[in-house]
Amino acid sequence: MGYFITKKVLCLLLVCLVLVGCGKAAASSAGNTDATEETQSDNAEITIETTTSATDGTEATTPEEEKAPVPVSFWNPICNEFISFFATTGGEAVGQVPKGATLGLLNWDGRYARVIYNDQVGYVYSNCLKPVDANYFTDMLKIVTPTTKYSYEQMQTDMKKLQALYPQLITISSIGKTEMNRDIPLMVVGNISAKYHILVQGAMHGREHFTAWLTMAMMDYILKHNMLPEDLCYHIIPMSNPDGVIISQTGKLEEEQMVVLDLDIEYGYTSGNNLTEYATQWKANALGVDINRNFIVGWIPSDERPEPSCQRYRGYAPFSTSEAQALRDYTTGRAFHATLSIHSHGSVLYYQYGTKEPVNRLSRSLAQTVQGVTGYVPTAYDNTTGAGYKDWVMEELGIPSLTVEIGSTTTPIVQQDIYNTFDRCRDMLPAVYKWLTKN
């Protein structure tokens, strides 16, 4: 038991609600959504409904036969003294849940968690929850430990540790060098002669470095729980942009970035008054090129930022960056069955580029499968004109692919957002494999 709170308490909470009102303060969307792949969820229409929505299709209660849905795990609110409780996603809050309460998780849904609290089914913001189980991460992972600042060095150390644990399964190498001559590490997990090959790459944008942690954690989880089929091989590039990650994590600008800073000041993109913040928000590579706008499909010169910038500059030509070249060469070197690009944030899955078939239909189907596990919302297009990795892989190579925008409120991802993010994503890759075997 333990998670049912008395009705008296709920009534008190509802009174509180009426008195003080309730907003979305705990998890309101901050202004720094990944501008490359902006979420549309902020525009959700606000409606108030009293019916319970059954987004996963498993619940259909009738007045005659009311069966309480069974939670899959239990979670505590962590943001503030109270967090908002919603009847529907995108609606107004109908109550509040206190910090010490226990919520039964039914499923993740966009930026929300569908929960049962005090016999009521409703929604809370997913980034305000922490597992009740204090041993959650030690049960889930063997090597990788939770952090919001997963360094380049720590990632390499963890790769070696995983390899020492599973020497017959893991090979470590590099797909190439960054502009600052750092290796871009690759971890191949599984039999290289396997039937199915999935490529996963993260941290293409510097400030989205949590995606490198997540990618490594997903592999650790799969290996620890013996979830690697014999006919599958994962190709893991957790940090496609180590130089950019280091700029964001250290908050420090080197000579090359000072040149970019001067341009950004000149164009009015930054005042230059807070250099640590400027560096922390860095997305580009070390020379001020946005790698995810440096691929050839959809590339047009200077549609947004005409010169090197901390973000959104496409480069003087497609594949002008050593990082995009390395990704291109590795991706074309093998017949991949699916690719996933992990970015933050938005809690959405971008699955479309252009009109080619069957790749668009397949990517959409893949997005629906991944939604079933993560609760992230399939969305056709991002707000760019292309030149991203996924765009190129789909259009030119015809490989079903997704851009997975993890997280819901801020990038870099903050501590309170890591619990739901890992929990949603841990079974994502096994689901992609399952999908492959059926398509």
Instruction: Return residues touching Zn ion (CB under 5 A).
Output: 34, 36, 205, 208, 343
Sign of the torsion angle spanned by Cα atoms 210, 213, 217, 218: positive
Give, in order, the Cα–Cα distances in Å from 198 to each of 160, 169, 246, 395. 21, 15, 27, 17
**Which residue lies nearer to Zn ion by CB, 189 or 297?**
297
Nearest to Zn ion of 343, 424 (CB atom): 343
Helix (H) or strand (E) holding 428: helix 428-438
162 or 418, CB closer to Zn ion? 418
Give yes or no for a contact between 59 and 109, defined as CB atoms under 8 angstroms apart: no
Q: How far is the CB of 292 from Zn ion (least distance, A)?
A: 6
Tell me how far, at minimum, the Cβ of 89 lies from Zn ion, in Å. 24
* Closest to Zn ion by CB, 343 or 426: 343
Rg (CA), the chain: 22
CB of 272 to Zn ion, least distance (A): 24
Which CB atom, from 205 or from 424, has the smaller least distance to Zn ion?
205
CB of 403 to Zn ion, least distance (A): 8
CB 60 within 8 A of CB 54: yes
| DSSP run (H or E) holding 322 | helix 322-332
User: What one-letter code names the amino acid at 416?
Assistant: Q
CA angle 117, 121, 122 (to 5 degrees): 95
Q: How far is the CB of 140 from Zn ion (least distance, A)?
A: 25
Closer to Zn ion by CB, 77 or 391: give it: 391
- Judged by CB, which is closer to Zn ion: 36, or 363? 36
Angstrom CA distances, 69 to 51, 59, 64, 310, 392, stand at: 15, 7, 15, 47, 43
3-state secondary structure of 424: helix
CB of 413 to Zn ion, least distance (A): 12
3-state secondary structure 53-113: CCCCCCCCCCCCCCCCCCCCEEEEECCCCEEEEECCCCCCEEEEEECCCCEEEEEEECCEE
Q: Which of 369, 376, 368, 371 is nearest to 345 (CA)?
A: 376
Least distance to Zn ion, CB of residue 385, Å: 16
CA dihedral sign, ordered 97, 99, 102, 104 = positive
Distance of CA 382 to the CA centre of its chain: 15
Q: Are 373 and 72 a contacting pair, CB within 8 Å?
A: no
- Provide the minimum distance between the beta carbon of 223 and Zn ion in the complex, in angstroms, as a whole number: 26
User: Closest CB to Zn ion among 36 and 201?
Assistant: 36
Q: In the complex, which residue's CB is closest to Zn ion? A: 343
Which residues make beta-bridge pairs with 103? 75
Which of 102, 408 has the CB closer to Zn ion? 408
Identity at 147, one-letter amino acid code = T
**Cβ 290 to Zn ion shortest distance, Å:** 9
Q: Could you tell me the CA-to-CA distances from 95 to 77, 189, 393 in Å, in that order?
A: 14, 46, 45
Which of 16, 92, 13, 83 has its CA nearest to residue 49? 92
User: What's the min distance (Å) between Cβ of 341 and Zn ion?
Assistant: 8
Q: How far is CA 277 from the centre of its chain?
A: 22
Choice between 76 and 341, CB closer to Zn ion: 341
Q: In terms of CB distance, is 103 or 208 closer to Zn ion?
A: 208
Shortest distance in whole angstroms from residue 411 CB to Zn ion: 8
Cβ-based nearer residue to Zn ion, 55 or 363: 363
Nearest approach, Cβ of residue 236 and Zn ion (Å) = 18
Task: Write the single-letter amino acid at 401.
Answer: S
